[in-house]
């Protein structure tokens, strides 16, 4: 890989967004709202989609990645295309010296990620992975108040509970290619667990298809519980469901020696009503990630721009994406084999796996994602 391109000081960072589906629209809107960014291109295999998102955000529409990379004003690229294309597009962008913000997961196959890491070498440091929840203001405050090397407000951490329930299941055709609930949905929670308690040593998962015929048809889950044990012994319980009648359920509780820190659900209004008929009546929870994590997406993109401009390490980086995927693989294996799976087992298996078909495959067409 070539040398990293210097980002010219004194002008906005030139950005292109690959993918004009929902997540591409989120990134394009966030980029257009930040003064440190000039959104130059939106690219999608569906020209009308690219044109629509580009026009809404003051950018131009591109038909190919080559057209985007031919623009010397592009300093960095957001990859918001379907998961099987991520590694290829990362490599094609990074080899030009540009930086990449890639949506999760890096790939569905851990061996493919490791093969890409070997090809990228030190250039993998030019990649940031889109675990946007790290940048949510409430979650970031919770992490800060937990403390780092020194214990924070609640002393030594003992247990963490992460709850993540979507309002409704995605389409069956999306589930068929998503790689399982662990790779697609829980992977955000795996990254959050690592961010809160450090490296994970073992994984135990259970779940079922209780209500979604689409998940049942493709052999996936709609309900899951995963218990992680960190290298330091902290227990983390992740609760997932593909539906929630009350709205988008996103909560974290951290239990420590001296107390508990909690982040509760965001509501569409903070006003509460007390009457004779009922007390503490409030508005509904946020509908989905588009509104719940709007501030997080902007903060994530700002962090990406700042690091690119100042030559700082990206966080979360390529290895964070790899480690979250390893936890997803461990959870899937635990479910299938009915036992606790160590992360070392997964790492060892990935090392001996044959190189992925991605190594020999030709270019993959850019196509839109169906769901995020």
CATH class of 137-292: alpha beta
| 305 pLDDT above the threshold of 50 | yes
Q: What is the arithmetic mean of pLDDT over 53-68? A: 97
Residues facing residue 228 across a β-bridge: 203, 236
Q: What is the arithmetic mean of pLDDT over 45-70? A: 96
Please indicate whether residue 268 or residue 211 has the higher confidence score (pLDDT).
211
Which architecture, in CATH terms, is 13-131+304-316? Answer: 3-Layer(aba) Sandwich (3.40)
Whole-number Cα distances in Å, 357 to 87, 98, 168, 180, 325: 12, 26, 33, 20, 18
pTM: 0.92
Residue 370's pLDDT is what? 39
Of 18, 22, 15, 17, the C-alpha closest to 294 is: 22
Residue 355's pLDDT is what? 52
pLDDT, averaged across the chain:
93
Q: What is the arithmetic mean of pLDDT over 35-44? A: 97
Residue 29's pLDDT is what? 97
| Complete DSSP assignment for 110-158 | HHHHHHHHHHHGGGGGGEEEE-GGGG-HHHHHHHHHHBSSSBBTTBSEE
Three-state secondary structure readout of 247-300:
CCEEEEEEEECCEEEEECCCECCCCEEEECCEEEEECCECCCHHHHCHHHHHHH
Of 105, 79, 66, the C-alpha closest to 18 is: 79
Residue 150's pLDDT is what? 78
Q: What is the arithmetic mean of pLDDT over 158-184? A: 97
Q: 116-125: per-residue pLDDT in tens?
A: 999 999 999 9
Residues in the chain: 372
- How much is the CA Rg of the chain, to the nearest whole Å? 21
| 361 pLDDT above the threshold of 80 | no
Domain ranges for the chain, please list them.
13-131+304-316, 137-292
Q: 97-146: per-residue pLDDT in tens?
A: 999 999 999 999 999 999 999 999 999 999 999 999 999 999 999 999 99
Of 80, 71, 105, the C-alpha closest to 25 is: 80
């Amino acid at each position: 890989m070539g040398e990293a391109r210097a980002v010219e000081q004194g002008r906005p960072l030139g950005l292109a967004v690959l993918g004009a589906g929902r997540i591409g629209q989120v990134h394009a809107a966030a980029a257009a709202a930040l003064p440190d960014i000039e959104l130059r291109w939106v690219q999608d295999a569906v020209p009308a989609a690219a044109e629509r998102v580009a026009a809404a955000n003051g950018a131009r529409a591109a038909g190919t990645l080559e057209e985007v990379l031919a623009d010397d004003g592009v300093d960095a690229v957001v990859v918001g295309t379907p998961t099987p294309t991520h590694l290829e597009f990362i490599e094609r962008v990074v080899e030009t010296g540009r930086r990449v913000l890639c949506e999760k997961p890096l790939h569905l196959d851990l061996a493919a990620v490791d093969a890409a890491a070997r090809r990228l070498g030190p250039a993998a440091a030019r990649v940031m992975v889109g675990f946007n929840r790290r940048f949510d203001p409430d979650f970031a405050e919770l992490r800060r108040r937990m403390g780092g090397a020194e214990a924070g407000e609640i002393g030594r951490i003992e247990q963490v509970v992460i709850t993540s329930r979507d309002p409704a299941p995605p389409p069956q055709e999306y589930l068929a290619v998503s790689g399982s609930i662990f790779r697609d949905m829980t992977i955000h929670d795996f990254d959050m667990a690592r961010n809160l308690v450090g490296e994970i040593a073992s994984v135990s998962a259970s779940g079922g298809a209780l209500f979604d015929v689409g998940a049942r048809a493709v052999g996936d889950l709609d309900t899951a519980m995963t218990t992680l044990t960190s290298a330091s012994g902290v227990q983390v319980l992740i609760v997932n469901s593909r539906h929630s009648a009350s709205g988008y359920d996103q909560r974290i509780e951290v239990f420590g020696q001296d107390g508990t820190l909690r982040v509760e659900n965001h509501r569409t209004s903070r006003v509460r009503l007390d009457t004779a008929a009922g007390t503490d009546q409030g508005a509904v929870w946020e509908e989905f990630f588009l509104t719940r994590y709007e501030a997080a997406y902007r903060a994530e993109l700002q962090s990406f721009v700042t690091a690119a401009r100042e030559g700082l390490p990206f966080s979360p980086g390529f290895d964070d994406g790899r480690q979250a995927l390893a936890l997803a693989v461990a959870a899937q294996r635990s479910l299938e084999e009915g036992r606790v799976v160590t992360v070392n087992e997964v790492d060892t298996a990935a090392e001996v796996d044959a190189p992925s078909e991605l190594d020999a495959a030709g270019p993959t067409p850019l196509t839109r994602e169906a769901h995020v």
